[in-house]
Amino acid sequence: MRDPLNKVITKIEPSGIRKFFDIVVEMKDAISLGVGEPDFDTPWFIRDEGIYSLEKGRTFYTSNSGLKELKKEISLYLSRRFKTEYDPEHEVIVTVGGSEAIDLALRAMLDAGDEVLIPQPSYVSYLPCTILAGGKPVPIPLSSKNEFRLTAEELTAACTERTKVLVLPFPNNPTGAVMEEEDLKALAKVVEEKDLFVISDEIYSELTYTGKNHVSFASLPGMWERTITINGFSKAYAMTGWRLGYACGPKAILTEMLKIHQYCIMCAPTTSQYAAVEALKRGDGEVEKMRDEYNGRRRFVLHALREMGLDTFEALGAFYVFPDIRSTGLSSDEFATQLLRSEKVAVVPGTAFGDSGEGFVRISYAYSLENLKIALERIRRFVEGLKN
Amino acid sequence: MREKILTFIEKNSRIDLSDLAIMLGVDEASVLNEMEAMEQERIICGYHTIIDWDKTGVEKVSALIEVRVTPQRGQGFDHVAERIVNYPEVNSVYLISGGFDLMVTIEGKTLREVSLFVSEKLATLESVLSTKTNFILKKYKDHGTVTAETGKDERQIVSL
């Protein structure tokens, strides 16, 4: 029999830390700080709207790009929150989570061999999606020295003749790093100079703790034309399982993205779309409540990690902190594995998000305070034990 | 800062002061000062425990009484309400809009005890025109807290 498989896909690693995951799955009674999704339930009024749409029998396909009403609300929301303007007719596509939007954007923009700059540590899908789209991923290792922000110098140094796209994953999973206006402005210059396009993954845009609003890259002068903005409902509204996100950008790019979406997906789930309309219309208050709660836990976790002697920079976004564990003498993988074995606490090795995550682990604070307290006490005991 | 403190302690009054201070990013002394000030000003009026008595062996009956009263000149409803709050059986007294005037919740050991309280103490107050007693059969949610078992965390142990 011939090899049934495609050579490109078989070369892609399922995940760099499979071994670790295998152990995690076996440990049924572990306390986890390893989850990349909110602990809150989707606010009831949003769930209620989903249920209502089912009761009404609204179970048909929507138009490919999404419900008209939802696209209108997305456009209003982005304008209200981040001062970016998109025409709901032609410049918004509703997707199956932010993940699909990443894939669409890469596939619509890349020709074979085009290089995509991927700052790392970052979410795990940019790299394989680039490869699947025929592009060449070029990781930019970010530095703890800069609190894992991307600098103009790093960006310039990574550019070649073939560089076409820059992925901007901020607020960042796993580091919790944010890019503030000045940081982004510095990048915008390089983007202009090198004639790059940007996929700005702003899925955590509602979760920043700088006291200021998140700055959307497309809102900077001259950047709208060059940017696909990706966002969604998973993190801000605690709607991960609803699988709903969106991409916004110039019509010329969105039209091609829509083709892929139309043939591969048809449309995003209808129930989720109806629920999302309600989320955007009435959700601002709930988002703020969750943000305040996360912020309190964030301070608590940072404090506890620093108290136990782990150097931890002040992560100002998402719901992760990214402590430096090099002082323990262990690698990320060793730290996570031993912590799991001896204290039954699951954290994610930084290396799961790229080689530059070595020496760090991702700790999620999407857990109740009681849970965090117990887990952090166990981590303290573990770190203490390593010193002796 | 007051609003933030209240938001945190409204759902969890047992939170350690030191934890609360860390979560608010301020020092413990200033949280303590604010809390004491709010207690003084009766913004914080008490710290209670939400108990589902049904799960204990203790018999308790509670009722929600709709009370219609004649407001008194110069004092409106305050005078009669202030008399009602003094009874230890009375859990809460609200002045409300709608078909009646005061909503009074009462807790007693037995149906008889509650009924007697209403007929002997409440209904006989001078300005009370009528009362209607509604016994509470089951509490699904109390003080913003759902009384049933809280759901388990059904998320994957690790996700990226």
Distance CA B84, CA B93 (A): 8
Query: pLDDT: is A28 or A197 the higher one?
Result: A197
CB count in 10 Å sphere of residue A222? 11
Query: pLDDT: is B71 or A131 the higher one?
Result: A131
* Residues of chain B contacting A37 with CB distance shorter than 8 Å: 155, 159
For residue B154, what pLDDT band results from cuts at 50, 70 and 90?
confident
User: For chain B, how many structural domains are there in total?
Assistant: 2
B155 touches chain A (CB under 8 A): yes
Q: Are A214 and A171 in contact (CB under 8 A)?
A: yes
Q: Flag whether B93 is in a domain.
A: yes
Same domain, B99 and B129: yes
Interface test with B, best of A299, A333, A344, A351 (most B CBs within 10 A): A299
Confidence check: pLDDT of B144 > 90: no
Distance CA A166, CA A177 (A): 17
Same domain, B59 and B125: yes
Domains defined for chain A, CATH in brackets? 7-42+285-387 (3.90.1150.10), 59-283 (3.40.640.10)
pTM recorded for the entire structure: 0.93
Question: Any idea which of A62-66, A207-211, B52-56 has the lowest mean pLDDT?
Answer: B52-56
Same domain, B120 and B67: yes
Same domain, B57 and B133: yes
Same domain, B60 and B123: yes
Q: For A28-50, write each residue's pLDDT tens digit.
A: 788 999 999 999 999 999 999 99
Q: Taking CB atoms and an 8 Å limit, are A123 and B23 in contact across chains?
A: no
pLDDT at B146: 85
* Residues of chain A contacting B2 with CB distance shorter than 8 Å: none
Q: Taking CB atoms and an 8 Å limit, are A300 and B25 in contact across chains?
A: no
Confidence check: pLDDT of A176 > 90: yes
B150 touches chain A (CB under 8 A): no
Same domain, B23 and B86: no
Q: Are A270 and A63 in contact (CB under 8 A)?
A: no
Interface of A with B in 120-159 (CB under 8 A): 123-124
Give which of A306, A361, A273 is closest to A61, Cα–Cα: A273
Interface of B with A in 25-54 (CB under 8 A): 25
Chain A residue with minimum CA distance to B20: A296
Q: Flag whether B94 is in a domain.
A: yes
Q: For A245-258, write each residue's pLDDT tens digit.
A: 999 999 999 999 99
Domain span at residue B36 reads 2-40
Same domain, B74 and B29: no
Q: Is the ipTM of this complex over 0.90?
A: no
pLDDT at A16: 61
Q: Flag whether B156 is in a domain.
A: no
Q: Taking CB atoms and an 8 Å limit, are B158 and A300 in contact across chains?
A: no
Same domain, B32 and B63: no
Q: Flag whether B23 is in a domain.
A: yes
A296 touches chain B (CB under 8 A): yes
Q: For A236-291, write each residue's pLDDT tens digit.
A: 999 999 999 999 999 999 999 999 999 999 999 999 999 999 999 999 999 999 99
Q: Taking CB atoms and an 8 Å limit, are A369 and B12 in contact across chains?
A: yes
Same domain, B57 and B134: yes
For residue B123, what pLDDT band results from cuts at 50, 70 and 90?
very high
pLDDT at B147: 81
Confidence check: pLDDT of B59 > 80: yes
Give which of A108, A129, A54, A374 is closest to A260, Cα–Cα: A108
Handedness of CA A27, A28, A29, A30 (dihedral sign): positive
pLDDT at A233: 98
For residue B71, what pLDDT band results from cuts at 50, 70 and 90?
confident
Average pLDDT score, chain B: 92
Buried b or exposed e, range A61-97, using 16+ CB within 10 angstroms:
ebebbbbebbbebbbebbeebbebebebeebbbbbbb
A292 touches chain B (CB under 8 A): yes
B36: three-class secondary structure by DSSP = helix
* Residues of chain A contacting B8 with CB distance shorter than 8 Å: 296
Q: What is the mean pLDDT of residues A59-78?
A: 98
Interface of A with B in 359-388 (CB under 8 A): 369, 373
B23 touches chain A (CB under 8 A): yes
Confidence check: pLDDT of A15 > 80: no
Average pLDDT score, chain A: 96
* Residues of chain B contacting A174 with CB distance shorter than 8 Å: 160
Q: For A338-354, write each residue's pLDDT tens digit.
A: 999 999 999 999 999 99
Q: What share of chain A is helix, strand, coil (3-state, %, to 5)?
A: 50, 15, 40
Confidence check: pLDDT of A95 > 70: yes
Tell me the CATH number at B62.
Answer: 3.30.70.920
Distance from CA of B29 to the nearest CA of A (A): 17
CB count in 10 Å sphere of residue A262? 14
